[in-house]
Amino acid sequence: MTRALVTGVGAITPIGLTAHDFWSNLRAGQSGIGPITCFDASDLPVRIAAEVHDFEASHYMDAKEARRMSRFAHFAVAASQMAAEDAGLEIRDDERHRAAVAIATGSGGAIETMDQMEVMRDRGPARVSPFYIPMMAPNMGACQVAIQMGLRGPAMASVAACASGLYSYMEAKHLIDSGRADMVFAGGTEAALHPLPIAGLANMKALSRRNDEPTRASRPFDAERDGFVFGEGAVVMLIESEEHAKARGAHVYAELAGGGLSCDAFHITATREDGSGAAEAMQEALKASGMVANNIDYIAAHGTSTALNDASETLAIKLAFGEAAGRIAISSPKSMVGHLLGAAGAIGALTAVMAIHDGIAPPTINLENPDPACDLDYVPNVARKMEIRAAAANGFGFGGQNGCVIFRKPAV
């Protein structure tokens, strides 16, 4: 069977408009969280977010095409084009049917629904945009990438709440393993910053209300954590079959070894407190990758900074990895970029890949006073240089969706 290799990385994030800028700021412990600027949040209980600033869609695509896409699709197209460029990939016309897309999202173009509802209410149904449906549909992140880049293999968009991004790497692995594709642009994208989801999540008590200290608001595994921070952005990585990558002499960041999924089958939003559902996904990922707990040196945790997640994820890691859990470096990118929802799993995957590639575990920032229920090694506040043979990325979503994907150093 062929191997699935990561040969290109692209990202639009609150801490960098390329994957490499994201990674260097992540290593440096740079927070991308600040006051909400894209709308007036003054009457909301939560007035902070991890926004993407200075993004110009027209830098990455034709201005007319950009006008027909929602922001989540802009991010997907930009990140995919950067992944192709980073990989040095020029797709030939005779291999377009061998190029696939798997780009997940949590809510797609939900902001278009909210805006067009206002148009219909204020100006009547005749004024609703004919682009509303193709801008809103959650598959349009993946399909716009296919359209803009001429990728004629399968285009997929998993909907798995905050685990969505990881599902894309499962799809990519299947597409490469089954021989259906040689190239898969895989990742997640999210751009749903709007008062409505902020209000809904705030009323669930899921969001941090540390409005006066935005950069300290996301504090996974810390005793003073009070919820996650809403974020936006996208990550897309090019997953390529070993034969295809070798034939063109591609640089290989890491190998996508395998992944595992499970569902808590428990509650609409709460995780199983004993972590058994999430542990199942991690164990399945190890099994699918042909690895054991001792092979894993780093975990990019889901680590949302909510009371429930961080404690149950800690239990899940202990359940899945046993005694090895104590020696694995674990950190949460969300401490810096907030929670990118449908793109969060892809942020974790990119973090795992770069950690392996550069031999660096990025920090969990704001970890000042660890919660006694969170007693593993979360790489507090300062990045650590270390050999990372293999790394896992965790992602869990409302509905009880659990995902874990494992990457490893490419065989030389």
Partner 1 sequence: MATVFERVRDVVVAQLKVQPEEVTLEANLVDDLRADSLDIVDLTIAIEEAFADDAEIEIRDEDAENIHTVQDIVTFLNEHGLS
Question: Which residue ranges make up the site for partner 1 (CB under 8 A)?
Answer: 62-64, 67-68, 123, 126-127, 129-131, 134
Question: What CA–CA distance (Å, rounded) separates 164 from 263?
Answer: 13
**CB 324 → partner 1: shortest distance, Å?**
55
Q: Which is nearer to partner 1, 109 or 333 (CB)?
A: 109
**CB 126 → partner 1: shortest distance, Å?**
7
**CB 127 → partner 1: shortest distance, Å?**
6
Structural Rg of the chain based on CA atoms: 20
Find the catalytic residue in 194, 339, 357, 404.
Answer: 339
Query: Is residue 339 among the annotated active site residues?
Result: yes
Q: Which is nearer to partner 1, 131 or 266 (CB)?
A: 131
Tell me if 401 sits within 8 A of 341, measured CB to CB: no
Q: Which is nearer to partner 1, 127 or 205 (CB)?
A: 127
**CB 118 → partner 1: shortest distance, Å?**
14
**CB 172 → partner 1: shortest distance, Å?**
31
**CB 52 → partner 1: shortest distance, Å?**
23
Find the catalytic residue in 162, 244, 357, 404.
Answer: 162
For every residue of the chain, which 3-state class applies, written as one string?
CCCEEEEEEEEEECCECCHHHHHHHHHCCCCCCEECCCCCCCCCCCCEEECCCCCCHHHCCCHHHHHCCCHHHHHHHHHHHHHHHHHCCCCCHHHHHHEEEEEECCCCCHHHHHHHHHHHHHHCHHHCCCCHHHHHCCCHHHHHHHHHHCCCCCEECCCCHHHHHHHHHHHHHHHHHCCCCCEEEEEEEECCCCHHHHHHHHHCCCECCCCCCHHHCCCCCECCCCCECEECEEEEEEEEEHHHHHHCCCCCCEEEEEEEEEECCCCCCCCCCCCHHHHHHHHHHHHHHCCCHHHCCEEECCCCCCHHHHHHHHHHHHHHHHHHHHHCEEECCHHHHCECHHHHHHHHHHHHHHHHHHCEECCECCCCCECCCCCCCCCECCCEECCCCEEEEEEEECCCEEEEEEEECCCC
CB count in 10 Å sphere of residue 288:
18
CA nearest to 32, candidates 346, 381, 351, 339: 339
Question: What CA–CA distance (Å, rounded) separates 157 from 360?
Answer: 31
Question: What CA–CA distance (Å, rounded) separates 176 from 400?
Answer: 27
Q: Which is nearer to partner 1, 127 or 248 (CB)?
A: 127
**CB 134 → partner 1: shortest distance, Å?**
8
Q: Which is nearer to partner 1, 63 or 268 (CB)?
A: 63
Q: Which is nearer to partner 1, 62 or 375 (CB)?
A: 62
Find the catalytic residue in 74, 194, 244, 302.
Answer: 302
Question: What CA–CA distance (Å, rounded) separates 99 from 24?
Answer: 29
Query: Is residue 194 among the annotated active site residues?
Result: no
Q: Which is nearer to partner 1, 20 or 68 (CB)?
A: 68
**CB 130 → partner 1: shortest distance, Å?**
4
Q: Which is nearer to partner 1, 64 or 92 (CB)?
A: 64
Q: Which residues are catalytic?
A: 162, 302, 339
